[in-house]
Structures are given as structure tokens and as C-alpha cells.
Amino acid sequence: MGHGRLQLDPERLVLASPGTAVTLNGIAQGYVTDRVVDLLRAEGITNSLVSIDEIRAIGPTPSGAPWSVGLEDPRAPGRVLDHIGLVDRAVGTSGGYGTQFDPAGRFNHIFNPADGTTSWRYLSVSVVAPDAMTADALSTAFSLMPLGRTEPVVAALGLQVYFMRPDGSRVIQGQG
């Protein structure tokens, strides 16, 4: 189980067992979002909201207000639970509700590389960071971590993080 089933070398990635699969969506969508933002800025765009499954704001809205981004309720996909304002920041959200592997919903796409289990510590984790790749990567990583282990990272990087626990309660860490 875990990442030991992947064999990596500079030329290729080998999946050691039939039926094994891997995706890069723990970081790739954020990376692509950031590259699109770089291209837009290079063309002189100063106000835009880019969404390629992760969201990044270039400046404020044309009126000068922050971009309003909805945080989805993982218990009711499509329903907005809260709104956050973004200016030159990004938000990435991870949650096991996105891709489930069994009809009962016991197994999801966020794997713990240490033991191969899936994460249900939180229903969702949304990270606001300076760039989309950081937000994307940390929302996935934080999905596996207890709150006490996320706090030093949040403080050191100047993040804001929205955690939703399985009971529906919410915890917000970091700067507002």
C-alpha cells in the first residue's frame, strides 16, 4: 500500500500493480492556473479571476472590490456555504466528497501516502495562499493532518484555511 507501489526514475513512472492509477490533481490544477495568470499578466491584464478548478485573482474587480469567491458546502455540492474576498490571492479546496471509489462513500481520492488509507478527517479544506499551486498542494496535504500540525505552516506562510469537520462544524486558521 501507499507510495511504495510507484517506481520513479528520471525517464518514467511505473505502477507496480495492475489496477493502480495516479493523478497529479493534488498540484497540477494549481500549477496550470498559475501559468495562465502569468500569461495574462504578461499581456497587461490587471483585473481578472482565473478558475481552472483552483481559483486565482489578478488584482481586484474592475470596480476595485475584492473578487467574491464561494466556498462550496461539501454536504450539498453546488450550494455555497460562505464567500471569501480575493485580491492577488488564490484559493484551492480539497475534499473526499469530490471523487469516491465505492457506493457507500467510504473511500475517496485523497490517499495518505504513509498507509494507503483515505482521508475523512475533514469534509473539506480550503486554503487561501499567494498562488494557486500552493493553495492546491496544501489543501490536499492539510486534509490528512490534525489541526495542531497545520497551525505552524499556516502561520509561517501567512495563509488562511477553512476546515469543515465531519460533524459540519468549521474551523478557520490564519489571517483574515
Q: What is the pLDDT of residues 13-35, one digit of tens each?
A: 777 777 776 666 668 899 999 99
CA–CA separation, 118 vs 136, rounded Å? 18
CATH code of the domain in which 81 resides: 3.10.520.10
* Residue 105 near residue 98, CB atoms below 8 Å: no
pLDDT in the model for residue 91: 98
In this prediction, residue 56 has a pLDDT band, given cuts at 50, 70 and 90, of very high
Instruction: Choose among 27, 34, 15, 22: nearest CA to 94.
Output: 27
Residue 164 pLDDT greater than 60, yes or no: yes
Residue 12 pLDDT greater than 90, yes or no: no
* Residue 162 near residue 174, CB atoms below 8 Å: no
* Residue 161 near residue 128, CB atoms below 8 Å: yes
Instruction: Choose among 92, 90, 108: nearest CA to 100.
Output: 108
Domain count for the chain: 1
C-alpha cell read off for 61: 474587480
Residue 151 pLDDT greater than 90, yes or no: yes
CA–CA separation, 118 vs 53, rounded Å? 21
Adjacency order of strands within the sheet including 90-94: 48-51, 55-58, 90-94, 124-129, 160-164, 170-174
pLDDT in the model for residue 127: 97
CA–CA separation, 76 vs 74, rounded Å? 5
Residue with cell string 462544524 = 169
pLDDT digits (tens, 9 = 90+) for 65-91: 999 999 999 888 889 999 999 999 999
Residue 2 pLDDT greater than 60, yes or no: no
Domain range for 46 is: 2-174
The pTM of the full predicted model, rounded to 2 decimals, is 0.84
pLDDT digits (tens, 9 = 90+) for 95-135: 776 666 667 666 666 766 777 777 778 889 999 999 999 99
